[in-house]
Amino acid sequence: MHYLQLLFLWVVESSLAASVVILLVLAVQTIFRRYISPRLSHLLWLIVLIRLLVPVFPDSPVSIFNLFSNGQNVSESGMVIRPFTNIGMNHFQALDKQPVPLNPSIPEKFPSLETNEASMSLTAVGLKLFSAVWFLGTLVLSVYLGLVLWKTSRQRRLYDRVTDSDIISIVTQCREKLGIKQSVPVYTGKYKKSPYLSGLIDPWIYLPEELNNQLGANQLTHIIFHELAHLKRKDMMWNLIGGLVLTIHWFNPLVWVCLKQMRDNREIACDAYTLEILGETEAVPYGMTMIECLQYYSSKERTLSPLHFSNNLNHMKRRINMIKRFKKGSYRLSALAIVTALIIGGATLTNAGTTKNEDQLLFGATIFGGGQYANLEKGVKVSGFKYKVPAILPEGYKFDHIIARPPIELYSQEGNVSIRFSKRDATGEIGSFHFSAILDGPGIEAAYAKVKKGDERAREIVEEPLIARGLDGIKVTSYIYDWEKLTYIWKDQGIQYQLESSAELADQDMLVMIHSMKYPDKEMFEASINPYMITENIYDTDDLRRASESIGINLKFPVQGPGKFKAVTADESKKINFSYPVDEDDYWSKALVINYRKTKGEPGFLFKQIENNNIFEMIEAEGEVSFIRMDMEKNTIPVFSIEVNGKKVLVTEKYHADGMLATSPPYKTSYFWKENNVCYQLESYQDDMADEEIVSFFMNADYMDIKNLH
């Protein structure tokens, strides 16, 4: 996806999130208007500015956005208000509505594509259009803001610097009371404008000549003190930040409301700060000065950038009402006000927090090597970005597995997935093809160059435009000996796709799959599970939860093993990785296999567990146990009995997995015991710790608590 569109999507998402905060602040100010201080009212708007400008916020369980996400996956809940994060893109939420069968036979003719192409391109075209309009609006407002600031700075040259010793003395006295060390000159002129403060780096005050001539020293003190109070409060900086926010979020009407309310609250807070320094006795004279200024200047005569002493009539009424009620100390933030600001800030300057049920990563394969899964739903969940997959597959083909690598901003790793589809008959697998999706991939030309390099043995490689659904892509045909390899590469809504197959699939098959591309739905998830995989890796607590349900037993899963041993990998496996299955039904039973190591490269051991189903009793009765060799035949090993912790344990002689086929000496020993209809096996490869101690450790280990693994 083009960077402008990505930026626009972040701005929209940020603006939506900030809209929630704006409505919250408006509600708080309306409900508690009699109790909330002017300073706190203004402070709450600064929280909104931060929400609008900062791209990334931490997750928190107290975030207000938990009310919107409700802990749901994006694919389940649709568009949620969750500001920009390092987990990937959640901007393309519209799933195809019409269910499509996953494995129908290939139609003889393509279906009508007009509707599909129109719906597919509408989002992309609309996104480009809105992105361009937003950028144009931002550019226009940025130029306007720059011109206003430039004009204001130029106006200073048109004014006369005040040299009147009385006014200079007033400015000096006000600066001293406010603790302002830098010099702030005063300028005057015949322009009928309200007094204002300007200049972020080199501040100065404009005082209209007419007002200067008609007001007394006390009234001038009020005006100058008010403008210097803006300087002390850093209001010029917040005013400029507000202007920058408007140039970015100009399309959001609530942002305009926010900035107007913030400006009004800022003036009232500045009045409160002024009276806090001058004292309650100056409240009435200060209010009279404001009324007298209002008689001279209408609200229309003001500019965007400077901070003005006077304002519109309604706002002036609010300011005067505050002045009438002013009490010494009301400007200071009370403990309650600080707590309120912290609560609102904590709830709004954070993202939806991780719930207690969120998956905990156990092993690092999903970060660097990618996780391999036998079900599509899990792969989609951990991918970290939205992508489409073929909804119609060639006849006989089914989902095989998915390798998912989520995007990792820290390591500049692009999110990508690779899906393998296969076809089987009674003899086993007879065909396969691969599909991949990459978030903001390297580009079609780079992908084509990679295909050419990989197919160097081909006698000819032909590149053609991809003619399908108006997609931007290419078709590559590699003529390798007496067969053809087809590769399709295309981009769609910021995702780069690649579909690759060898001779058994025709061009028609590939194009049908491309035309059927859709975001995975429940029906597709249910159909995309591969029961034939012998082992399925376990990476996180969700995998472990699934394994527990699939195996059908209460698992033991101590992450920290005996001594310095620690779990480094885990798999859900078919029975053949526990012992030789006695029949076909036994073959399909499942076991959990956990691999423990001290350090990388050193021998360790495997801890296995499976539903007993008389496994232990059969080994005990026969005095032997069988394992599977590399040629799929039995390797039978004698066992003898020992006792550990008062329980019978069956122990094999040292053996090699491949028995007589092995070229190396026996190197491992297996220990079997039974608890609560679960058969356990310790497969040990090391000698530096007594195996009986390891068996004792697992006998005493607690059953798995998925929320408290240790």
Report the pLDDT value the prediction gives residue 114, as an integer from 0 to 100: 40
Beta carbons of 222 and 274 less than 8 angstroms apart: yes
Beta-ladder partners of 436: 418, 498
For position 508, which CATH number holds?
3.30.200.100
Rounded Cα distance, 43 and 331, in Å: 12
Rounded Cα distance, 219 and 225, in Å: 10
Is the same domain home to 288 and 381?
Answer: no
Indicate the number of domains in the chain.
3
Is the same domain home to 23 and 155?
Answer: yes
Region of 680 please: left (phi>0), alpha (psi -120 to 50) or beta: beta
Is the same domain home to 418 and 564?
Answer: no
Task: State the amino acid at position 222 in one-letter form.
Answer: H
Is the same domain home to 579 and 437?
Answer: no
Q: Which of 354, 389, 405 is the last residue of a domain?
A: 354
Q: Which of 354, 381, 404 is the last residue of a domain?
A: 354
Report the pLDDT value the prediction gives residue 391, as an integer from 0 to 100: 92
Is the same domain home to 302 and 225?
Answer: yes
Backbone angles phi, psi at 678, to 5 degrees: -120, 130
Is the same domain home to 575 and 631?
Answer: yes
Indicate whether 364 belongs to any domain. no
pLDDT in tens, 46-71: 899 999 888 878 877 788 887 875 43
- Domain range holding 232? 1-354
Report the pLDDT value the prediction gives residue 91, as an integer from 0 to 100: 30
Distance between start and end Cα atoms, the chain: 42
Rounded Cα distance, 478 and 411, in Å: 34
Low-confidence ranges of the chain (pLDDT < 70): 1-3, 69-125, 192, 295-315, 353-359, 364-370, 406-415, 469, 503, 600-601, 686-689, 707-710
Is the same domain home to 181 and 222?
Answer: yes
Report the pLDDT value the prediction gives residue 123, as an integer from 0 to 100: 52
Sign of the torsion formed by the C-alpha atoms of 554, 557, 562 and 567: positive
pLDDT in tens, 248-294: 999 999 999 999 989 888 988 888 888 888 888 888 888 888 777 77
pLDDT in tens, 297-306: 544 444 444 4
Is the same domain home to 85 and 147?
Answer: yes
Is the same domain home to 308 and 402?
Answer: no
Indicate whether 388 belongs to any domain. yes
For position 569, which CATH number holds?
3.40.1000
Q: Which of 527, 560, 580 is the last residue of a domain?
A: 527
Is the same domain home to 571 and 477?
Answer: no
Rounded Cα distance, 130 and 123, in Å: 10
Report the pLDDT value the prediction gives residue 618, as an integer from 0 to 100: 96
